[in-house]
Amino acid sequence: MIKKAKKAQQPLVKTRRKIRNLQEFSDWFKKTGSMILLSILRYALILCIGYIILLPLLEMISTAFMSPEEVGSPVSEWVPAEFSLEHIIVAFRLLNYRDSVLYTLLTTAGQVVLQILSAAITGYAFARVRSKKIQAMFAIVILTIVVPQSVMVLPQYIYFSNFDVFGIIELITGKPLNLIGEPAVLYLLDFCGMGLKSGLYIYIFRQFFRGLPKELEEAAHMDGCGFIRTLFTIVMPNATPGIITVGVLSFVWNWNDTFYTNRFVGSQLNLMVRLNRVSGAMDQFMNGLKNIPAGFYFNTSDPLYQSSILSTASLLVILPLIILYMFIQKKFVESASNSGIVG
Amino acid sequence: MQQNVKKRKTKSFAKRNEKWGFILLAPWMVGVILFFLKPLVEAVMYSFHDVQLDLGVIHMTWVGMENYTYVLQSHATYYQELLMTFATAVPNSVIIVIFALFAAVLLNGNFKGRTIARVIFFLPIIMATNLISVDLTGAMGAAAETSTESDTSNLMFLAGFLVQNTSLPQELVSSLLTLVSGVFDTIKLSGVQTLIFLAGLQAISPSHYEVAKIEGATTYETFWKVTVPMISPMILTCAIYTITDNLMNTDVIELIQDTGFSSGKYGQSSAMSVIFLLCALVVIAIVSFIIGKKVYYSD
């Protein structure tokens, strides 16, 4: 009896196994299939978005090397039939590029260093000092992020045009200083943590320092290392991701800023300010150019020519940023993901 | 007893720390007083005065609420531009935050070419400047006038096609199409937010996902039940940052600046900016209240 039943069962088990295998196979197929589909979808989306991001940049580059007669012709949309440096040379001269790029690099670098320093110190105090008074003041940092600068720019302008701290400067020189037109205004603002987006940098540094293990600092404290010395010899060397993130953001935003530079400095040597003025009065600036090499197209009344010169000038202005980004991109992306901008 | 000792020790340490904290914060506090609170109070003061600037010397005469009533009732464009600014900035911010989260999820996984994709996605941070984008669209418009024309006509054609051949309402189609044509602006403005979200995604411990997998959650469920709650504090940060960022470079600000610096009507300009500031603070408070209720803090 039992044997018979077993015999009858065996094929049943076999078919069951087969069915299970089949099911496993279909499950596997579903899984890998959906995974392949998902990754195709991901690549497609990344390609699309990447294309949208890169398109204007590529267009600028292509226009920069195109000869002026060719711009807008349907034959050569991307790769110019004959390369020409005319756009670049004219834009170069229009921006007074050689002098102004140096000036802008130096002033921006100064601002970045000051902003990093002040944001790191302030952020460290907010991250590590567990005192109610200090923690309560962090609300002001949030307020400085949220309040638009434009609200304060007029009183600030008036203040800087007769700059004085508690009457000290008037005592020494007899009259308050007029700081408008000096980059010192920006340095002062940056040092005091009130510069362009300084609040955000303080926030980033605070989050970053909070994520660092406390043990290192405690050990330093045990060994008799003072508070300031701990900050500069123990904490800061370990803060590279935070410094890189804030440094890159600060450099880029200060470089691109026209709001503060236009109001408080307005130097013609600042690239962004210069580009702003040039784009405002293209004809005037173009006609002011002298010694145009023979054989150049150089037609100042041609709007198409003007706009391609302007596009090339914009490319020249962001060129240093692109070069910087190319050098630092790997570190930047890595450190930004590790810098704990995480709220 | 032991607890008591511990408490005393931390207290003295904290006190020592507090002193140093104030020393470290000194430059920032000077900055807050001189360059933040002082101008803020002065801006409010100016808004109640008729302000004349004479070679850097200010003359103020008290006018009460006159500036405010003028700006809100008689000024030709201010009221409309204020409304328009907020009516565009808030929806734009929502779209930007959603897009940034989406982009961060796209970039987060382990796939080939990840580094290049990230480099390209963060490029907008570098190029995000108003001036350049204005130039770009201008240059593109002029240099390829024919092609942009055909682009817009394509869009119009598509809109007409959709309205005629599907039963979609026209308003929906047109708003969708404006969304699509504004995709470059969205992408351009969402670099930092993508960065923040990516950092947040990377901070989520893998064990959460393991648990979800073992419990048999689908990818969809994992996203809504694990990823979104874990990342919700960053959604709050991003939303606030995006709104403030979107409010920085707008027509209203330009109008305020023009009224102040170009026309010399400092009192009116200050009144405008005070109203703008109050509106901005109210909007930000509402947004942070709404999102703050849903935020989940794991610790």
| pLDDT tops 60 at residue B135 | no
How far is Cα A81 from Cα A64, in angstroms, rounded to an integer?
13
| pLDDT tops 60 at residue B141 | no
Inform me whether the C-beta atom of residue A104 falls under 8 Å from chain B C-beta atoms: no
**Mean pLDDT, residues A244-248 taken together:** 88
How far is Cα A57 from Cα A63, in angstroms, rounded to an integer?
10
Residue A42 to residue B145, Cβ atoms within 8 A: no
- Asked if the structure places residue A76 within a domain, the reply is no
Among B144, B198, B266, the residue with its CB nearest the CB of A154 is: B266
- The 10 Å Cβ neighbour count of residue B299 is 2
**Mean pLDDT, residues B161-179 taken together:** 69
| pLDDT tops 80 at residue B25 | yes
The ipTM is 0.79
Type and span of the H or E element at A228: helix A227-229
B227 to chain A, minimum CA–CA distance in Å?
14
- Asked if the structure places residue A164 within a domain, the reply is yes
What is the dihedral sign for C-alpha A99, A105, A110, A114? positive
Q: What CA–CA distances, in Å, run from B131 to A37, A66, A317?
A: 40, 23, 11
The CATH number linked to A199 is: 1.10.3720.10
Interface test with A, best of B16, B32, B132 (most A CBs within 10 A): B132
Residue B38 to residue A153, Cβ atoms within 8 A: no
How far is Cα A325 from Cα A335, in angstroms, rounded to an integer?
14
- Name the more confident of B285 and A84: B285
- pLDDT at B277 (0 to 100): 92
pLDDT in tens, B234-267: 898 889 989 988 888 788 888 888 888 888 788 8
Top-tier CATH class for B76-135+183-294: mainly alpha
Inform me whether the C-beta atom of residue A159 falls under 8 Å from chain B C-beta atoms: yes
| pLDDT tops 70 at residue B156 | no
Confidence of residue B133 (pLDDT cuts 50, 70, 90): very low
pLDDT in tens, A304-334: 888 888 888 888 888 898 888 888 877 887 7
- Asked if the structure places residue A186 within a domain, the reply is yes
How far is Cα B45 from Cα B60, in angstroms, rounded to an integer?
9
Residue A134 to residue B25, Cβ atoms within 8 A: yes
C-alpha torsion A210→A216→A219→A220, nearest 10? -90
Q: Which two tokens stand for residue A101?
A: 């790029």
- Asked if the structure places residue A54 within a domain, the reply is no
- The 10 Å Cβ neighbour count of residue A54 is 13
% of chain A with per-residue pLDDT over 90: 13
- Please list every residue in chain B whose beta carbon sits closer than 8 Å to the beta carbon of residue A329: 119, 122
Inform me whether the C-beta atom of residue A146 falls under 8 Å from chain B C-beta atoms: yes
Q: Which of A337, A129, A113 is nearest to A242 (CA)?
A: A337
How far is Cα B236 from Cα A16, in angstroms, rounded to an integer?
53
- pLDDT at B150 (0 to 100): 47
| pLDDT tops 60 at residue A187 | yes
Residues A250/A110, Cβ–Cβ less than 8 Å: no
Residue A304 domain boundaries: 94-338
Confidence of residue A221 (pLDDT cuts 50, 70, 90): confident
Confidence of residue A141 (pLDDT cuts 50, 70, 90): very high
Interface test with A, best of B30, B33, B102, B127 (most A CBs within 10 A): B127
**Mean pLDDT, residues B221-246 taken together:** 89
- pLDDT at B148 (0 to 100): 46
pTM: 0.82
- Asked if the structure places residue A268 within a domain, the reply is yes
Residues 77 through 136 of chain B touching chain A, CB cutoff 8 Å: 103, 106-107, 109, 111, 115, 117-136
- pLDDT at A303 (0 to 100): 78
A9 to chain B, minimum CA–CA distance in Å?
33
The whole-angstrom distance between residue B111's C-alpha and the CA centroid of its chain comes to 30
- The 10 Å Cβ neighbour count of residue A38 is 12
- pLDDT at B282 (0 to 100): 94
Number of folded domains that form chain A: 1
